[in-house]
Amino acid sequence: MCGLIFLVGMVILTILSPYIMKYDYITIDFTARFALPSLEHPFGCDQYGRDILSRILYGARYTLSIGILCTAFAAIFGIILGAIAGYFGGIVDSAIMRFLDIFQAFPQLLMAMTLVAILGTGLDKCILALGISGIPGYARMTRANILNIRNSEYIEASVSIKCSTFRILRKHIIPNVLSPLIISMAMGIASSGLAAASLSFIGLGIQFPLPEWGAMLAEARDYIRQYPHMILFPGIFIVLTVLSFNLIGDALRDALDPKLRE
């Protein structure tokens, strides 16, 4: 509940920020350069005099949208490929999984960095790169769960009454393997948001002047000794957001896992 309350509050503030914030995220005021936290600027200002609170709230749009969209992209294609591989088995299974092994041979962040370097920087490129690099994990999890239920009696009954393969996958197999995938997706949003911030930090994600949290950390790292508030607040929001999604993932695991309910 704590994680959910934080995320809902963050979404509400992000949506309302253009109407409730006194300063725009891109407004430059050189008279307020490096301003410390105060009533006028609760989180202080950066090297250009831009209000850090406004930039954090606006930047939440990018961190949250990247995390959700690239996780959804990876989950959709991963579930489809994993379902096909697990249900049909044989040559189809081997071909799909060996192809995915090529991607999984590299760490997800390294693969995302490579894809961004090829595709270019930007919001859509970042979502695509992180989404593609996350497909193998969801495919393997789906395949493993399907192998456990493929020979169940209700699957054999569906085959015996000549249900189509597509209907069996859609109605009987995928719904029965969704519980662990939902948990993985909740935690995957956190890791994807963190990966997006990492890409922005090294210059491969959302770039200036858009206020993505990782980009804000990259801009503030040269002033960490003199003005630590510039790097402190974006870092705190990254930690709280990742923690909130992980807490929600733990709660979903407790709610959906029948062994834990017992």
CA distance 145 to 177: 6
pLDDT per residue over 102-141, tens digit each?
887 888 778 888 888 888 777 788 888 888 888 888 888 8
pLDDT in tens, the chain (262 residues): 888 898 898 888 888 888 888 888 888 888 888 888 888 888 888 888 888 888 888 888 888 888 888 889 988 898 888 888 887 878 888 888 888 888 878 887 788 888 888 887 777 888 888 888 888 888 888 888 888 777 777 777 887 887 887 787 777 777 777 777 887 888 888 888 888 888 888 877 777 677 888 888 888 888 888 888 888 998 899 899 889 888 888 888 777 665 555 5
In the prediction, which pLDDT does 203 show? 78
User: What is the reported pTM?
Assistant: 0.79
User: Which structure tokens are listed for 17?
Assistant: 């920020």
Give the pLDDT of residue 99: 87
**Are 142 and 181 spatial neighbours (Cβ–Cβ below 8 Å)?**
yes
Q: What is the pLDDT of residue 250?
A: 82
- pLDDT score, position 222: 85
Which structure tokens are listed for 204?
Answer: 């491969």
Phi, psi torsion values for 51, nearest 5 degrees: -70, 120
Question: What's the fold here for domain 65-257?
Answer: MetI-like fold (1.10.3720)
Q: What's the burial of 60, exposed, middle or buried (CB within 10 Å: 0-12/13-18/19+)?
A: buried
Residue of 164, 179, 168 lying closest to 253 (CA atoms): 179
Measured CA to CA, the distance from residue 15 to residue 17 in angstroms comes to 6
Query: For the chain, percent helix, then strand, then coil, each to nearest 5?
Result: 75, 0, 25
How many other CB atoms are found less than 10 A from the CB of residue 125? 19
pLDDT above 90 covers a percentage of the chain that reads 2
* Cβ atoms of residues 188 and 196 within 8 Å: no
Contacts of 47 (CB under 8 A, 6+ apart): 33, 34, 219, 220, 223, 230
> How far separated are the first and last CA of the chain, in Å rounded?
22
Contact (Cβ atoms closer than 8 angstroms) between residue 238 and residue 252: no
Tell me what pLDDT residue 254 has: 76
Domains in the chain: boundaries? 65-257
- State the Cα–Cα distance between residues 107 and 89, nearest whole angstrom: 26
Among 53, 11, 14, CA closest to 230: 53
